[in-house]
């Protein structure tokens, strides 16, 4: 439009059409020698545009003083490395916001579906940033800052698996970006660096451990953090290693720290790892070590907005993590949630184009201050069938009612009904823990007696029913031994085509084609392999699971030794979910002992008798 007005103006001032063409041709030849000032704002049409050069962006590294000391750095303060990329056109002319990801994975394991790591040239200069944030957002006027958590990659210190040193690694960088901290141009040098280019507004993002740090930092209420985008994040590290007192079948917290640690610091940091493990006893107690890593407990301090994503079938970072975080956020926080059918998968790989678009709008609003209406978007988007998404104004979804159902015995031993009758005849049912079997075996034939589980079913549902939120179960149990584990799983019986989250792909297939998001350099491509749903058709879908240690019936902080033959009542939660059981399908509850592959077994194989008159399950149901 401006070119059109200029040509009309030239004609109006007496130049013929031919002269105009010649005049514009001369300008075109002179253009390369004319310095054209880059715009100070990338905002047009109510969103940031890619107007700055990615190839010419400033790439730098600083080491931020955390104020911490650690066995990995005798004497002095721990410094953490922050690699930065920002538009050169704005240097010294405008202050800009920061998109930040703090991670332990930049050298050991990589980020994203293609396991990208940071890459440096022979002089130690950063030349490749993992993921697409830099390629896409730097041309739009953002800085991207990738922080190595203490003890990882080029940072000093020790990894403490979500503890104070992890969180301080990130808060120290935010403080520096806001003029409240000190950074250096090298890991041991005395030359300082200032963030003169930062406007102090920070948005944190990341999947898994990275998103976990974002939640931990937000729970401090730090000034300058405007928004977080946690993807499959941990809100309490107790949930990662334990559930309701039951030890999950995975490595210890100390082993996890050494897995991501810089190999050169593992030996020096061995005492730190041992200290973490000392705070994680095998009996499943909730200790002070875990309390220091429970961000949901401090969610009332959160001021940043939250755009949360999670796989509803994620059994790496369990869904109770997002459930308790979501519920604990204060009402003053704007929050949004996307739940996929996948396992532990980045939203970039299960809803790529839509996610980048929404992320763009989200950061534009909360970091650039653009009034684009993203805060008015539906609060929830749920993947109901592969690649089919439904939005809702609130979550749990509208119409959800806390509904208590009871278990009644049937004609077949160990098999009964599940319904809202309110009371059942005096009865009980028993099973014996078999640590070799899992819920796959338990759910295989719901109409038959099985010595190591009980099953209670609604029968075919008259209406589609959604379980939206966190289910709670109360069981009165008499054990035959001094230790016992409990499992409760929900099953959808009926033909369903779903993402194959049990596969090693977690519900996605990686294709050979690529799609690009942003600008590239020879060292840092903006193009990534496409994905598609990995689907399967099943007639049995175990869509929710929960586990507990009966010895924690009184409290998670102290396991009790059980008295054989004495009844105990315990209430515990299942993982948070949002799953629709279609009309005609059957909803079933299965109760068992050790769920093989998910939790560790107790000593021995106890027999457990359930008092059905004193047991019930309360589900968040819509449409029941």
**Which residues belong to the active site?**
208, 314, 344
Report the alpha-carbon distance of residue 158 to residue 470 in Å, rounded: 36
Residue 502's Cβ-side half-sphere holds a number of Cα atoms within 13 Å equal to 12
SS (H, E, C) 302-317: CCCEEEEEEECCCCCC
**DSSP class of residue 300?**
G
DSSP string, 307-357: EEEEETT-SSS-THHHHHHHHHS-TTS-EEEEEES-SS--GGGTSHHHHHH
Contact 410, 597 (CB under 8 A): no
- The CA-to-CA distance between both ends of the chain, in Å, stands at 58
Beta bridge partners of 243: 246
Report the alpha-carbon distance of residue 202 to residue 326 in Å, rounded: 21
Beta bridge partners of 96: 198
E strands present in 395-534: 401-409, 415-419, 428-432, 453-460, 465-469, 472-479, 485-499, 508-516, 527-533
Q: Is 109 exposed, middle or buried (0-12, 13-18, 19+ CB in 10 A)?
A: middle
Dihedral angle sign, alpha carbons of residues 184, 186, 188, 190: negative
Report the alpha-carbon distance of residue 370 to residue 48 in Å, rounded: 9
Instruction: Round the CA-based radius of gyration of the chain to a whole number and report it.
Output: 28
Looking at the chain, the number of H-run helices and the number of E-run strands are 12, 33
Report the alpha-carbon distance of residue 517 to residue 132 in Å, rounded: 7
Tell me how crowded residue 510 is: count the other CB atoms within 10 A of its CB: 14
3-state secondary structure of 208: coil
Beta bridge partners of 119: 128
Report the alpha-carbon distance of residue 577 to residue 470 in Å, rounded: 6
- Whose CA is closest to 382, among 311, 464, 306, 471? 311
Tell me how crowded residue 25 is: count the other CB atoms within 10 A of its CB: 10
């Amino acid at each position: 439009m401006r070119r059109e007005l200029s040509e009309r103006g030239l004609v109006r001032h007496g130049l013929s059409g031919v002269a105009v063409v010649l005049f514009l041709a001369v300008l075109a030849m002179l253009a390369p020698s004319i310095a054209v000032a880059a715009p100070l704002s990338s905002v047009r049409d109510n969103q940031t545009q890619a107007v700055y050069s990615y190839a010419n962006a400033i790439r730098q590294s600083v080491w931020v003083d955390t104020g911490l000391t650690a066995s990995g750095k005798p004497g002095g303060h721990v410094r953490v490395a922050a690699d930065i990329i920002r538009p050169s056109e704005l240097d010294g002319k405008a202050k800009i916001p920061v998109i930040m990801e703090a991670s332990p994975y930049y050298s050991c394991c990589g980020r994203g579906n293609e396991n990208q790591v940071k890459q440096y040239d022979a002089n130690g200069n950063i030349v490749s940033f993992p993921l697409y944030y830099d390629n896409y957002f730097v041309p739009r006027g953002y800085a991207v800052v990738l922080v190595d958590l203490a003890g990882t990659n080029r940072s000093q210190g020790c990894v403490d698996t979500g503890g104070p040193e992890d969180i301080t690694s990130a808060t120290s960088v935010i403080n520096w970006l806001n003029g409240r901290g000190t950074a250096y141009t090298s890991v041991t040098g005395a030359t300082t660096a200032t963030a003169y280019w930062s406007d102090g507004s920070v948005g944190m993002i990341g999947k898994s451990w990275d998103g976990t740090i974002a939640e931990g930092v937000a729970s401090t209420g730090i000034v300058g953090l405007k928004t977080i985008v946690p993807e499959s994040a941990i809100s309490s590290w107790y949930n990662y290693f334990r559930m309701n007192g039951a030890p999950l079948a995975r490595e210890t917290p100390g082993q996890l720290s050494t897995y991501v640690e810089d190999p050169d610091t593992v030996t020096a940091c061995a005492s730190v790892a041992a200290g973490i493990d000392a705070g994680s006893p095998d009996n499943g107690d909730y200790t002070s070590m875990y309390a220091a890593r429970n961000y949901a407990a401090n969610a009332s301090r959160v001021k940043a907005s939250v755009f949360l994503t999670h796989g509803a079938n994620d059994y790496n970072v369990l869904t109770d993590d997002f459930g308790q975080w979501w519920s604990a956020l204060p009402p003053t926080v704007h929050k949004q949630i996307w739940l996929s059918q996948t396992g532990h998968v980045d939203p970039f790989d299960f809803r790529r184009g839509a996610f980048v678009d929404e992320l763009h709008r989200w950061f534009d609003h909360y970091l650039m201050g653009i009034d684009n209406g993203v805060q008015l978007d539906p609060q929830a988007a749920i993947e109901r069938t592969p690649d089919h998404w439904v939005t809702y104004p609130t979550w749990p979804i509208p119409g959800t009612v806390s509904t208590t159902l009871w278990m009644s015995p049937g004609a077949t031993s160990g098999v009964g009904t599940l319904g809202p009758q309110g009371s059942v005849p005096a009865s009980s049912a028993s099973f014996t823990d078999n640590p070799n079997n899992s819920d796959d075996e338990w759910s295989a034939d719901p109409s038959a007696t099985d010595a190591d589980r009980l099953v209670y079913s609604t029968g075919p549902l008259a209406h589609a029913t959604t379980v939206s939120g966190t289910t709670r179960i109360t069981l009165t149990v008499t054990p035959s031994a001094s230790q016992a584990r409990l499992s409760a799983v929900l099953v959808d019986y009926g033909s369903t085509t779903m993402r194959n989250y049990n596969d090693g792909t977690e519900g996605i297939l990686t294709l050979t084609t690529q799609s690009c998001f942003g600008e590239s350099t020879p060292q840092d491509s903006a193009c990534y392999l496409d994905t598609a749903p990995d689907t399967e058709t099943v007639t049995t879908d175990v869509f929710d699971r929960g586990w507990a240690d009966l010895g924690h019936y009184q409290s998670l902080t102290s396991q009790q030794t059980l008295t054989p033959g004495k009844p105990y009542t315990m209430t515990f939660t299942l993982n948070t979910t949002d799953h629709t059981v279609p009309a005609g399908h059957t909803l079933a509850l299965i109760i068992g002992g050790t769920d093989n592959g998910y939790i560790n077994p107790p000593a021995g194989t106890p027999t457990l008798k359930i008092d059905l008159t004193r047991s019930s399950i309360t589900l968040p149901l819509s449409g029941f």
